[in-house]
Amino acid sequence: MEDSETDAALLLLELRRGGYDTIFERVATPEAMDVALGNRAWDIVISDYVMPQFGGLAALKLMQESGLDLPFIIVSGKIGEDTAVEAMKAGAHDYILKGTLSRLVPAIQRELREAVIRRERKAADEELQKAHAELRKAHTELEIRVEERTAELARANKELQAEIAERKRAEQLREEYVALISHDLRNPLTSLIGYTQLLNRLLDRKGLAAEAATAESMLTSASRMKSMIEDLVESAHLESGTLEMHREPTDVRQLISDIAVRVGSIEDRARIRVECPDCVPHVAVDPERIERVVVNLVTNALKYSPPDRPVVTRVARSGNEALVSIIDQGRGISAEHLPFLFQRFYRAQTGTTTDGLGLGLYIARMLVEAHAGRIWVESELGKGSAFHITLPLA
346 binds ligand ATP (CB under 6 A): yes
In this structure, are residues 200 and 221 in contact, taking their beta carbons and an 8 Å threshold? no
Q: Which of 56, 264, 360, 373 binds ligand ATP (CB under 6 A)?
A: 360
Quick check: 235 binds Mg ion (CB under 5 A)?
no
Instruction: Assess contact for 1 and 37: CB atoms under 8 A.
Output: no
User: What does 350 interact with, of ligand ATP, Mg ion, none (CB < 5 to 8 A by kind)?
Assistant: ligand ATP
Using CB atoms within 10 Å of the CB of residue 305, give its burial: 0 to 12 exposed, 13 to 18 middle, 19+ buried: buried
- Footprint (CB under 6 A) of ligand ATP, residues 193-212: none
In the complex, least distance from residue 358 CB atom to ligand ATP, rounded to whole angstroms: 4
Give the contacts of 264 (CB within 8 A, at least 6 positions apart).
220, 223, 298, 299, 302
How many Å apart are CA 262 and CA 349, to the nearest integer? 28
- Rounded to a whole number of angstroms, the minimum distance from the CB of residue 158 to ligand ATP is 41
Which of 350, 374, 378, 394 lies at the binding interface for ligand ATP (CB under 6 A)? 350
Question: By CB under 6 A, is residue 18 in contact with ligand ATP?
Answer: no
Nearest approach in angstroms of CB 324 to Mg ion is 16
Q: At its nearest, how many Å lie between ligand ATP and the CB of residue 145?
A: 54
- Closer to ligand ATP by CB, 20 or 346: give it: 346
Residues 347, 333: Cα–Cα separation, whole Å = 11
Binding of ligand ATP at residue 300 (CB under 6 A)?
A: yes
Separation CA 307–CA 266 (nearest Å): 12
Question: Per rule CB under 5 A, is residue 300 in the interface with Mg ion?
Answer: yes
Q: What is the CA radius of gyration of the chain?
A: 54
Residues 232 and 181: beta-carbon distance below 8 Å: yes
Q: Which stretch binds Mg ion (CB under 5 A): 59-67, 142-150, 229-237, 354-362?
A: 354-362
The dihedrals phi and psi of 377, each to the nearest 5 degrees, come to: -135, 145
- Residues 323 and 245: their CA atoms lie apart, in Å, by 20
Binding status of residue 330 toward ligand ATP by CB under 6 A = yes
Is 305 a binding residue for Mg ion by CB under 5 A? The answer is: no
Site string for Mg ion, 356-375 (x = CB under 5 A): ----x---------------
- Residue 72 interacting partner from ligand ATP, Mg ion, none (CB closer than 5 to 8 Å by kind): none
- Longest C-alpha distance within the chain, in Å? 159
Strand ordering across the sheet containing 375-380: 272-275, 311-318, 321-328, 384-392, 375-380
Contact in structure between 71 and 111 (CB atoms under 8 Å): yes
Q: Which is nearer to ligand ATP, 72 or 304 (CB)?
A: 304
385 binds, among ligand ATP, Mg ion, none (CB under 5 to 8 A by kind): ligand ATP
Q: Which amino acid is at 212?
A: A
Tell me which of 203, 333, 375, 393 binds ligand ATP, using CB under 6 A: 333
Q: How far is CA 115 from the centre of its chain?
A: 61
Distance CA 42, CA 35 (A): 12
Cβ distance 52 to 4 under 8 Å?
no
- Does the protein bind ligand ATP through residue 272 (CB under 6 A)? no
390 binds, among ligand ATP, Mg ion, none (CB under 5 to 8 A by kind): none
Nearest to ligand ATP of 19, 382 (CB atom): 382
Interface contacts to Mg ion, rule CB under 5 A: 300, 360
Interface contacts to ligand ATP, rule CB under 6 A: 231, 296, 300-301, 304, 328, 330, 333, 341, 346-348, 350, 356-362, 385
